[in-house]
Structures are given as structure tokens and as C-alpha cells.
Amino acid sequence: WWKNKKKRLPPGPTGFPIFGSLHLLGEFPHKDLHRLARKYGHIMYMRLGLMHTIVISSPEAAELFLKTHDLVFASRPPHESSKHISFGQKNLIFSEYGVYWRDTRKMCTIELLSNHKINSFKSMRREEVSLCVESIRAAANNRGVAVDLSDKVSSLSVDMSCRMVLGKKYKDEEFDERGFKSVVREGIQLASAPNLGDYIPFIAPLDLQGFTKRMKSVNKAFDNLFEKIIEEHLKPNDGERTKDFVDVMVGFMGSEESEYRIERPHIKAIMLDMLVASMDTSSTTIEWALSELMRHPKAMKKVQKELENVVGLDKMVEESDLGKLDYLNMVVKETFRLHPVAPLLVPHASTEDCTVNGYHIPKKSRVLINVWATGRDPNAWTDAEKFIPERFEGSSVDVTGNHFQLIPFGSGRRRCPGIQLGLTVVQLVLAQLVHCFDWELPNNMLPEELDMTEEFGLTVPRAKHLLAIPSYRLRKSA
């Protein structure tokens, strides 16, 4: 402590013994940290519990941590929920920087998330999106009745993720008496709830919040399902089935790598990663994009006009159309800017002492990159609080991690490996829902009256479900 004090840590609030500054974080930590950064600066130090925590709040600072010193900050801190839910933190998302992380990431990137693999699921996506459109079209026959769009989009996303990762859709009753979606939700909720054990490790075994018991129960439910699925995948494939993620991973089972051997717990942890990482991220973004379009009818009309010109009212959108939908892509970028799915990314951790911008950053610091703040930085964005997709007209700024004012997928070594898949799903579903239907808010609600309150979690969705009244707009033959 004395040594660190002499070495000039970044500025930040002084906390209490043991708890540090945990009391400063409320319901929306990204907003609290944004407020604190305005006072203390874009590289801020605070102690959360016993943990050194560095909070980054500007594009320039993010570049220093994710590019200039990327290697030092490419690890993850220990995480209670990954330990208990994700098979001993053997997952990719939370694994420490090292050989295991590098090899599993390579396997996922090449074997599971490559363009070739993503394309092999194109017809599955078309089928599932069509089913969703059909169910909304049926609802549209009851003129004037609102559908729960949040629910529709979330179910679509769950079904697509299950088919891609596990090979088929799982009905709630095939899982556990609690049902598949509710156990996934419970897992996600537990993973994002502030767990005192993460901040004050020596009290973790006391399980004062009762989280560990619930996490073990969630793990048990997944374990049973995943064991069944692995067994099914070990049987010879009759050639009818498209090779899914589990097929690929089962192929690696038992393989001896230099420092570890891939066994069932590793595979189960990565299966869970892929499900969680693909389910809520895409649906949350689609939900926010639809909400913004409903609040901005001119932008909605502009997207529909573009779709009319590029696709036409005689047919639905195909994935091959997506590259031609310039304005739709600007809407997606603007949505990521204002509503990043993971506003603090996933915590990074430093593997050694490091000096950044003259500040001492101790080894094993947690680093939180506040992309909710960088997306609103007034030095990088004009009228930063306003939804203006046109700001991207003629701009080279994209979301892939090269422009630090917009990094909803992170940047550097720990950048999201599912960007291509995530973007495809978001663009396709959004385009289809806006192309096939006109949307009206219920109860004569004015666009500006739509509640945009967030709910903080592992992802940050709308607090209240988005309800809207559809009317089918394609020609009857479509």
C-alpha cells in the first residue's frame, strides 16, 4: 500500500476500510461511474471492496488500455458466478489470459464463428425469422392490438441461438421444472448482481447474499441438459443435421494440449458462453433500435423507404440485402453508441504493474471501460445525447474496435469474437421487422412519451417491455 501511494495512482474517491467505494455504485453503475469521472478524470482509481479498480471514460484513455498496453490488460479478474455457474471459470469469456484462453478463443473463432460457419446457418436464420414474422402477422389481424415486441425478439434470439449452438430448439418442459428461459435469465441475473465475494474475497465462502446456493442450482440444471446434449452428439451423425457448435467441440474432447486436456467441463462452459453471449446481446440491441425508431418516426420512415428501394414490397429481406442498407446500418451504429449492450464491457484485469499516462496501475487491477461514457463524450460527438443516425454519413467510424469513440464490442485481444454473427442477426431482424410492418405505439402514446428506462445487468435491456401495434405492409403475395 505504501509503495503504491508513493507511485501516484490515478485520482479518485477515497473509500472506507474494507468496503472501499462500493457505496457509490447504485442501480446504474455505468451512470454513477460516468458522474464520478466528470469529477476525477477519464482515468480514475477507486477501491471497490479490496480490489484496485481503474475506470476508463474517454476514447483516448480506452485506446491506451486496449491498444497501447493491450497485453497487460488482457486478463480477467476472478469471478464468483463463473466459478459456480460456468464449471469452475473454465469459460472463454472469463478465463484468465494464458494458453487455455488463447487456444479456446482460436478454436471458437476459426471453428465456430468464422464467416463460413456463420453462413452455414443462414437458412436456419431465415426460417426462424419467418416464423417470428408469421406470428406477428397473425397478431396484426386483430387490428389495434399491441404485441410484446421485447418478448417476440427475445424468443426469436433464444431459438436461433439454441439451434446454432445446441443443434435444436429446447422447449421449456424438456429442461427443468423452471423452464429453459427462466433458468438462463436467473443465471444472467446472478452473474451480473453485485456479489460481495468478488470484491471482498475472504467473505465469499460465507455466501452472505445467498447467491452461491442459487448459482449451484442453476449450474446443476445446465449440467443435466449439457450432459444429455453431449451424449446425443457422441452418437454418429446420420448426415442430415448441419454440424453445430457442440459437434465441433466434441471433436476436440480428450485432445491433449500442452498445459491442459479438453474435457467435458470445458465444453460445457464454452457451450454456456456461446448461448449467453449470443442470446441477450443481439435481442437487447434490436429492442433498443426499435424503441429509438419508434421515438423518431422520421428515421423509421427513412429506413422503410430505403428497404422499399433496395428490397421492394413484394418480398422479405434476405441477408444478401444487408450490405446495401446504408441508413439501416447507421441506425444500428447509433443504437450501439447510445445503448451499448455491455456498458462497462466485461471487466479486464492487469497481469503486471504498469505505468499509463504517468499513473501507476497495480498488478491485478480490475479495469472497467465505460463505453456508455465514451459513446457520449462531448469531445468526440456533437449533440451526444441525441439519436441522429445521419452523423455517420460519410464517416469511416465503425463498431469493430478500431475507433475508440465507438467500441460496443470492445477492442484488442479480448474484443468480442462474435461481432460478425451479432451484427448479422441485429441487422437482419431489425430490417425484417421494420420492412414487414408499420408500428404504432399503444394507447395513443406520443413517440416522445415512450419510456426509455434501462435495467442494469450483464446486458442492459429496457426496464419495461416494448409494446407496439403492428400492421402488415408488404404486398399480400410476399
* Minimum CB–partner distance for residue 402 and ligand HEM (Å): 14
346 is a contact residue toward ligand HEM (CB under 6 A): yes
* Minimum CB–partner distance for residue 182 and ligand HEM (Å): 21
C-alpha R_g of the chain? 23
136 is a contact residue toward ligand HEM (CB under 6 A): no
Nearer to ligand HEM (CB atom), residue 204 or residue 458: 458
Residue of 133, 416, 458, 469 interacting with ligand HEM (CB under 6 A): 416
* Minimum CB–partner distance for residue 388 and ligand HEM (Å): 21
Residue of 341, 349, 361, 380 interacting with ligand HEM (CB under 6 A): 341
Which residue's beta carbon is nearest to the bound ligand HEM? 418
Alpha carbon 461 to its chain centroid, in Å, reads: 10
* Minimum CB–partner distance for residue 459 and ligand HEM (Å): 8
Point out which span in 105-113, 146-154, 212-220, 308-316 binds ligand HEM (CB under 6 A): 105-113
Cell 469474437 belongs to residue: 417
* Minimum CB–partner distance for residue 306 and ligand HEM (Å): 21
Cell 444487408 belongs to residue: 322
Point out which span in 182-190, 255-263, 358-366, 402-410 binds ligand HEM (CB under 6 A): 402-410
Point out which span in 187-195, 325-333, 404-412, 448-456 binds ligand HEM (CB under 6 A): 404-412
Who's near 321: CB < 8 A, 6+ residues apart?
310, 311, 431
Helix ranges (H only) for 296-408 are: 297-310, 326-338, 371-374
Residue 219 in contact with residue 190, Cβ under 8 Å? Answer: no
Residue of 167, 187, 375, 410 interacting with ligand HEM (CB under 6 A): 410
* Minimum CB–partner distance for residue 397 and ligand HEM (Å): 16
Maximal CA-CA distance, the chain: 75
Residue of 40, 50, 105, 126 interacting with ligand HEM (CB under 6 A): 105
Who's near 371: CB < 8 A, 6+ residues apart?
62, 340, 342, 343, 344, 345, 407, 408
92 is a contact residue toward ligand HEM (CB under 6 A): yes
Who's near 470: CB < 8 A, 6+ residues apart?
136, 137, 139, 140, 147, 437, 438, 439
Nearer to ligand HEM (CB atom), residue 41 or residue 77: 77
Point out which span in 128-136, 208-216, 341-349, 358-366 binds ligand HEM (CB under 6 A): 341-349
Q: Kindly identify the residues of this chain, within the stretch 45-84, that bind ligand HEM according to CB under 6 A.
A: none
Q: Which residues pair with 368 in a beta bridge?
A: 55
CA atoms 242, 243, 246, 247: torsion sign: positive
344 is a contact residue toward ligand HEM (CB under 6 A): no
Cell 465469499 belongs to residue: 204
Q: What is d(CA 277, CA 262) in angstroms, rounded to the nearest whole number?
A: 21
426 is a contact residue toward ligand HEM (CB under 6 A): yes
Q: What is d(CA 427, CA 422) in angstroms, rounded to the nearest whole number?
A: 9
345 is a contact residue toward ligand HEM (CB under 6 A): yes
124 is a contact residue toward ligand HEM (CB under 6 A): no
* Minimum CB–partner distance for residue 150 and ligand HEM (Å): 16
Residue of 12, 375, 389, 418 interacting with ligand HEM (CB under 6 A): 418
408 is a contact residue toward ligand HEM (CB under 6 A): yes
Residue of 47, 84, 296, 414 interacting with ligand HEM (CB under 6 A): 414
Q: In a 3-state reduction of DSSP, which class is residue 407?
A: coil
Residue 371 is placed in which grid cell?
Answer: 463505453
Q: What is d(CA 342, CA 252) in angstroms, rounded to the nearest whole number?
A: 30
Helix axis angle for 419-436 and 297-310, nearest 10°, is 90
Nearer to ligand HEM (CB atom), residue 69 or residue 414: 414
Q: In a 3-state reduction of DSSP, which class is residue 180?
A: helix
Q: Kindly identify the residues of this chain, within the stretch 359-398, that bind ligand HEM according to CB under 6 A.
A: none
Q: What is d(CA 80, CA 63) in angstroms, rounded to the nearest whole number?
A: 29
Residue 427: closest CA among 275, 281, 285: 285
Query: Strands, DSSP E only, in 145-237?
Result: 147-148
Q: Kindly identify the residues of this chain, within the stretch 265-284, that bind ligand HEM according to CB under 6 A.
A: 273-274, 277-278, 281-282
Point out which span in 136-144, 205-213, 359-367, 418-426 binds ligand HEM (CB under 6 A): 418-426
* Minimum CB–partner distance for residue 447 and ligand HEM (Å): 25
122 is a contact residue toward ligand HEM (CB under 6 A): no
- Taking CA atoms, 236 is separated from 116, 169, 232, 240, in Å, by 23, 20, 9, 11
Residue of 409, 437, 439, 456 interacting with ligand HEM (CB under 6 A): 409
Q: What is d(CA 144, CA 53) in angstroms, rounded to the nearest whole number?
A: 51
Phi and psi angles of residue 27, each rounded to the nearest 5 degrees, phi first: -65, -30
25 is a contact residue toward ligand HEM (CB under 6 A): no
Q: Which residues bind ligand HEM (CB under 6 A)?
A: 92-93, 105, 108, 113, 273-274, 277-278, 281-282, 285, 341-342, 345-346, 408-410, 414-418, 421-422, 426
